[in-house]
C-alpha cells in the first residue's frame, strides 16, 4: 500500500511542485540535524544529565549518536535525489519516531519535551505526504509515545502518566490534520500563482509580438526625452537609428519638437511629415501611458501610405462592383447585336463590302463579350480550393487535354520534368485556367515569323526540397523590357484583338493559391512565365 501511494504521489507532481518539495524537504532535514544535536546535548551535557535523570545512559547516548549520524547523512545525500524524496522521507520519519521513543525511554522525567520535538517532525511531514500516510505516521508516533510509557512503567517502575502520552497522541493527530489542510491550501496557492505567472508571461510575449509586428510605429518616451523602446515599424519610419542612440532629439528632431508642443499645449499637429530620407510620411499621435502618469508618453506614428492604400483598395472594390454591374447590363444588347449580325450574314443580297462589315461587327462583338466575361470572372473572385497534386502528372494530362481540345497544327507542346514527381498544394481548376491562358499566348506570340511555336512545360523544384516551379517556355522573340513591366496590368495589350485581362487574371488566381506568376526573359530569345508554388504539404498532413 505504501509503495503504491509513493508511485501515485510521485507521478502527480509536476516539475515546479518537485522543486518546491525538494526545498521543503531540505529544510526538514536541517531541522532533524538540529533535533539530533538537542538530543545529544541532553544525553551528554553534565548539567542536562542531572536535569533529565538518565535511566539507561548507554541506550540514550548510543541512540543520540546514531541518530545524529543518520540526520547528517540524510541532510547531505537525500536532497541530491529529489525524485526519490518519498523513500527518504518515509524512512527518516520512521527513524525519527523510533529514535525519539528510545530517547524518551532512556530518561525518567521530562520525556514530554522530546515528545514535543517529535510533534514538529509529524506536522512537517504532513505537508509533504498524502493524507493516509500522514495519519499513519501520526498513529505510529502515538504508539511510540504510549509504548515507551508502558515499557518504562513495567521495567523501570517509573509510574509515568498515561495522560501526558494521550495528550501527545491527540496533538499528533491534530497537528497532522491542520498541516494537511494548510499544505493543501499552500499547494493550491502555489499552483495558482504559477499558472498566473505563466499566463502573464505568455500575455507579455503575445503583446510584445503584436506590438513588434504592428504596421503603426510605437515608441515609449519619458520626461527626459529618452526613448525606452520602439517597435520595428517605428524604427523604419524614423530611419533605423543605430544602437545606443535613444535621445529622441537626436533621432528625430521634428518628432521631439512636436512632442514638446503636445506636452506644453496638449495640441497635436496633424500635418504629415517624413522623418528620414526615403521613409513614408507619417502623422504622429501622443498619449499618456496611464491616467496619472505624466512622465511616460506613448507615441504612435501612422503611416499615411497605408491609409492611402486602404482607401485605394476600397475604391477599387467599389469600381469592381460597378464594372461588374455595367458588364452584366452590356451582355443583353451585345447578344442581340451578335445574333442580328449572324442573321444578316445569312442574307444573299449582301455584297462583299457588306459581308466585310458584318465580319468586323462579329469580331468586335466577340472581343467585347470576352472582356465582359473576364470582368465578371474578376468580380466573382471564386475562392480557391487547393489540394495536393503531382505537378508532373498534372502537366502531362494538361497537354493531352489541350491537344484534344485545340488543333495546334505544326506547333509543339511537350512536358519536360526534371524530377519524377513534384508535389504541391494548388486548386487544379484554377491552375488549368492559368496554364491554358499562358500556352495560348505562347502559341499566338511565342514563335518567330514563318516558324512553328515550340512550347515546353518544365516542372522542377528549387533545390533539393525547395519550392515547386512550373515554367511555360517558348522560343519566340521574347517581350521587350518596357512592355514586360506592364504585361500584368489590367487592360494592357499589344494586340488589336486582345482584352488585356488574361495575364492579370492569371496572376490574381496564382495569388489566390499563395503562388506567384513572373515573367523571365530567356537569353538568346524566348519567354518564360514562371509559376512558383507554396511549399509542398508535409507528410504528416498529406
pLDDT of residue 79: 64
pLDDT of residue 532: 92
- Which residues pair with residue 458 across a beta bridge? 416, 471
Q: Quick one: cell of 338?
A: 451578335
Report the relative pairing of strands 516-521 and 527-532 from DSSP bridges: antiparallel
Q: How many CB atoms lie within 10 A of CB 426?
A: 27
pLDDT of residue 22: 73
CATH of domain 387-532: 3.30.565.10
- At 322-342, the pLDDT tens digits run 666 776 677 778 777 877 877
DSSP string, 231-295: -HHHHHHTT-PPTT--BHHHH-HHHHHHHHHHHHH-------B-SSTTPPPEEEEEEEEETTEEE
C-alpha–C-alpha distance, residues 105 and 3, integer Å: 31
CB of 352 closer than 8 Å to CB of 362: no
Ramachandran angles phi, psi of 386, nearest 5°: -70, 150
Q: What is the pLDDT along the chain (542 residues), one digit of tens a residue?
A: 333 333 334 344 444 556 666 777 777 788 888 888 888 888 887 765 566 677 778 888 888 889 888 888 888 877 666 667 778 788 888 888 888 888 888 776 666 777 778 888 888 778 778 888 888 888 888 888 877 777 766 776 555 666 777 788 888 888 888 888 888 888 788 788 888 888 888 888 887 777 777 778 888 888 888 888 888 888 888 877 776 678 888 888 888 888 888 888 888 877 888 877 777 788 888 888 877 777 888 888 887 776 666 665 666 566 666 666 776 677 778 777 877 877 777 777 777 777 788 888 877 777 677 666 666 665 566 677 888 899 999 999 999 988 888 888 888 999 988 888 888 989 888 899 899 989 988 888 888 888 888 999 999 988 766 889 999 999 888 888 888 888 888 766 766 555 567 788 888 888 888 899 999 988 878 899 999 998 766 554 43
* Nearest CA-CA partner of 283 in 311, 302, 255: 302
CATH of domain 215-305: 3.30.450.20
Helix (H, G, I), strand (E, B) or coil at 163: helix
Q: How many CB atoms lie within 10 A of CB 510?
A: 21
pLDDT of residue 280: 79
H or E segment at 342? helix 304-345
Terminal-to-terminal C-alpha distance of the chain: 49
C-alpha–C-alpha distance, residues 412 and 434, integer Å: 19
pLDDT of residue 374: 61
C-alpha–C-alpha distance, residues 542 and 539, integer Å: 5
pLDDT of residue 381: 60
DSSP string, 129-150: S-HHHHHHHHHHHHHHHHHHHH
H or E segment at 526? none
CATH of domain 307-380: 1.10.287.130
Percent of the chain with pLDDT strictly greater than 70? 81
pLDDT of residue 517: 92
pLDDT of residue 322: 67
pLDDT of residue 380: 61
DSSP string, 80-102: G-GGGHHHHHHHHHHHHHHHHHH
pLDDT of residue 518: 92
CB of 530 closer than 8 Å to CB of 416: no
H or E segment at 389? strand 387-390
CB of 512 closer than 8 Å to CB of 383: yes
* Nearest CA-CA partner of 383 in 502, 511, 541, 489: 511
Amino acid at each position: 500500500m505504501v509503495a503504491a501511494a509513493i508511485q501515485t504521489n510521485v507521478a502527480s507532481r509536476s516539475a515546479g511542485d518537485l522543486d518546491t518539495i525538494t526545498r521543503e524537504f531540505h529544510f526538514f532535514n536541517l531541522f532533524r540535524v538540529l533535533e539530533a544535536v538537542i538530543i545529544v546535548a541532553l544525553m551528554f551535557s553534565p548539567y542536562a544529565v542531572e536535569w533529565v535523570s538518565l535511566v539507561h545512559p548507554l541506550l540514550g547516548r548510543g541512540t543520540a549518536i546514531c541518530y545524529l549520524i543518520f540526520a547528517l547523512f540524510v541532510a547531505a545525500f537525500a536532497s541530491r535525489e529529489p525524485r526519490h524524496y518519498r523513500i527518504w522521507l518515509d524512512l527518516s520519519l520512521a527513524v525519527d519516531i523510533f529514535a525519539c521513543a528510545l530517547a524518551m525511554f532512556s530518561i525518567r522525567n521530562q520525556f514530554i519535551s522530546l515528545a514535543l520535538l517529535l510533534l514538529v517532525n509529524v506536522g512537517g511531514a504532513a505537508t509533504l505526504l498524502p493524507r493516509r500516510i500522514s495519519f499513519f505516521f501520526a498513529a505510529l508516533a502515538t504508539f511510540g509515545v504510549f509504548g515507551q510509557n508502558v515499557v518504562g512503567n513495567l521495567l523501570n517502575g517509573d509510574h509515568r502518566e498515561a495522560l501526558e502520552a494521550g495528550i501527545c497522541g491527540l496533538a499528533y493527530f491534530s497537528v497532522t490534520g491542520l498541516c494537511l489542510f494548510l499544505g493543501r491550501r499552500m499547494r493550491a496557492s502555489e499552483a495558482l500563482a504559477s499558472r498566473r505567472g505563466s499566463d502573464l508571461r505568455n500575455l507579455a510575449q503575445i503583446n510584445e509580438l503584436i506590438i513588434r509586428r504592428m504596421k503603426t510605429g510605437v515608441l515609449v518616451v519619458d520626461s527626459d526625452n529618452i526613448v525606452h523602446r520602439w517597435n520595428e515599424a517605428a524604427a523604419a519610419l524614423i530611419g533605423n537609428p543605430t544602437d545606443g542612440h535613444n535621445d529622441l532629439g537626436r533621432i528625430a528632431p521634428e518628432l521631439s519638437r512636436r512632442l514638446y508642443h503636445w506636452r506644453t499645449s496638449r495640441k497635436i499637429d496633424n500635418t504629415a511629415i517624413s522623418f528620414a530620407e526615403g521613409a513614408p510620411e507619417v502623422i504622429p499621435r501622443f498619449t499618456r501611458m496611464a491616467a496619472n502618469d505624466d512622465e511616460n508618453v506613448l507615441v504612435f506614428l501612422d503611416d499615411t501610405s497605408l491609409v492611402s492604400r486602404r482607401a485605394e483598395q476600397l475604391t477599387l472594390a467599389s469600381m469592381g462592383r460597378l464594372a461588374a454591374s455595367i458588364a452584366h447590363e452590356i451582355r443583353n444588347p451585345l447578344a442581340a447585336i451578335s445574333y442580328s449580325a449572324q442573321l444578316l450574314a445569312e442574307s444573299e443580297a449582301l455584297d462583299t463590302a457588306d459581308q466585310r462589315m458584318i465580319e468586323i461587327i462579329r469580331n468586335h462583338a466577340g472581343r467585347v463579350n470576352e472582356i465582359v466575361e473576364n470582368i465578371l470572372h474578376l468580380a466573382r473572385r471564386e475562392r480557391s480550393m487547393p489540394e495536393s497534386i503531382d505537378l508532373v502528372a498534372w502537366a502531362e494530362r494538361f497537354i493531352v487535354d489541350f491537344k484534344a481540345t485545340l488543333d495546334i497544327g505544326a506547333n509543339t507542346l511537350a512536358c519536360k520534368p526534371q524530377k519524377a514527381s513534384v508535389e504541391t498544394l494548388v486548386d487544379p481548376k484554377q491552375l488549368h485556367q492559368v496554364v491554358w491562358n499562358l500556352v495560348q499566348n505562347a502559341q499566338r506570340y511565342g514563335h518567330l515569323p514563318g516558324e512553328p511555336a515550340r512550347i515546353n512545360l518544365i516542372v522542377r523544384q528549387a533545390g533539393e526540397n525547395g519550392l515547386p516551379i512550373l515554367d511555360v517556355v517558348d522560343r519566340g522573340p521574347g517581350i521587350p523590357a518596357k512592355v514586360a513591366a506592364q504585361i500584368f496590368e489590367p487592360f494592357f495589350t499589344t494586340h488589336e484583338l486582345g482584352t488585356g485581362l488574361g495575364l492579370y487574371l492569371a496572376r490574381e488566381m496564382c495569388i489566390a493559391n499563395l503562388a506567384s506568376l513572373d515573367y523571365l526573359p530567356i537569353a538568346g530569345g524566348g519567354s518564360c512565365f514562371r509559376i512558383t508554388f507554396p511549399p509542398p504539404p508535409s507528410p504528416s498532413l498529406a
